[in-house]
Amino acid sequence: MARFDLPLEQLRTHRSTSVEPENFDPFWESTLEETRAHPLAARFTPEATALRTVEVYDAVYAGFGGHPVRGWFVLPAGSTEPLPLVVEFLGYGGGRGLPHSHLMWASAGFAHFVMDTRGQGSAWGGGGDTPDPVGSAPAYPGFLTRGVEDPNTFYYRRVITDAVRAVEAARSHPLADAARTAVVGESQGGGLVLAVAGLVPDLAAAAPDVPFLCDFPRAVTLGERAPYREVGAYLATHRGSAERVRHSLAHADGVHFAARGRAPALFSAGLEDPTCPPSTVFAAYNAYAGQDKRIEVYEFNGHEGGGPHHEALRLAWVGQRLGR
């Protein structure tokens, strides 16, 4: 795809027009407080696989509303001492899949927790195992408009809360070194990385790749593809709902979470990305409050970003930040 967004020199100074809600911090503080009233109840059950170099555990913990959220916890085989921890969040429509899809981090000597995304897991990959028991008002097919007319019922309030609790659950395992925790993810997973970086103050590293859920005012009008296009399609029918929708989206905008992030951060962007336009990624990067930050730019790539090349770079970068 040809370039369609701002030139690179303008991207480096681009700022979002998203207006931070006055109650942004109290909203998330109360949401997490309500969720933490439910015991975390993290459980790790050994999973029988044909894998020999790693040990796999079927994880489950209490996320938003106390709802059970699943994940995989993968360790190098024979681990006996606490290891640096990598918590991973997944892209839109995917689920935790099968254990053999998650070998890289444990193979490099990390404890690795993969969060299943509630209600997702049927668009690609090996499937998901976490339902979303909360209903919503009428929505456009997909997830981005579920409950979107009220920040309290918005789907991503639940998912972001699940992501914070995933870090807490992973850190509760005796073989996870909580002081050396990184969060990583691509697309939707990258957006969740930013949310967690803004809500969990003691992370050692955050790596949001081609992040989704950023700079909503620009994203929903510039992006021609789902998921952002779901918002425009919804508002084309619900013509009087634009202000309420903007208000809800602002509560989940990665730009506002980025302004609270302090952990060392490695971003990535593809300049030909039609799914998460590069200006929306740079809006979050430019807002990120941490001083130790960098962004890798892939000039001729779309939503795949740096692909395996960036995976190798990220693996080395996380290893340096976590002292591996």
Residue for token pair 């430019």: 286
Catalytic residue of the set 112, 256, 303, 310: 303
Tokens 């998921």 locate to 227
Dist. CA 234–CA 239, nearest whole Å = 8
Active site residue 279: no
Other CB atoms within 10 A of residue 269 CB: 29
For the chain, report the end-to-end CA distance as a whole number of angstroms.
38
Residues in contact with 23: Cβ distance below 8 Å, sequence separation at least 6, in sequence order: none
Q: What is the pLDDT along the chain (324 residues), one digit of tens a residue?
A: 678 899 999 999 999 999 999 999 999 999 999 999 999 999 999 999 999 999 999 999 999 999 999 999 999 999 999 999 999 999 999 999 999 999 999 999 999 999 999 999 999 899 999 999 998 788 888 999 999 999 999 999 999 999 999 999 999 999 999 999 999 999 999 999 999 999 999 999 999 999 999 999 999 999 778 999 999 999 999 999 999 999 999 999 999 999 999 999 999 999 999 999 999 999 999 999 999 999 999 999 999 999 999 999 999 999 999 997
Q: Which of 122, 226, 127 is nearest to 114 (CA)?
A: 127
Catalytic-role residue among 18, 187, 268, 279? 187
Query: How deeply is 299 buried, as exposed, middle or buried, from its count of CB atoms within 10 A (0-12, 13-18, 19+)?
Result: exposed
CA-nearest of 201, 208, 220, 301 to 254 is 208
- Phi-psi region at 15: left, alpha or beta (left = phi > 0; alpha = psi -120 to 50): beta
Bridge partners of 58, per DSSP, are 45, 72
- The token pair at 144 is 């981005």
Give the C-alpha distances (Å, rounded to integers) separating 218 from 5, 12, 74, 223, 277.
Answer: 11, 16, 38, 8, 9
pTM for the whole thing?
A: 0.97
What is the length of the chain? 324
Nearest Cα residue to 295 out of 15, 12, 10, 89: 12
Sheet holding 293-298, edge to edge: 43-46, 54-62, 68-76, 111-115, 83-89, 176-186, 205-209, 265-270, 293-298
Measured CA distances, 153 to 10, 191, 244 (Å): 36, 19, 12
Please, what CATH class does the domain formed by 8-321 belong to? alpha beta
Closest to 209 measured CA to CA, from 278, 135, 106: 278
CA distances from 50 to 55, 70, 98, 109 (A): 10, 21, 12, 19
Q: What are the extents of the domains in the chain? A: 8-321
> Does residue 187 have an active-site annotation?
yes
Residue among 173, 268, 273, 279 flagged as catalytic: 273
pLDDT of residue 1: 63
Taking the CA atoms of the chain, what radius of gyration do you get in angstroms? 18
Query: Does the annotation count 247 as an active-site position?
Result: no
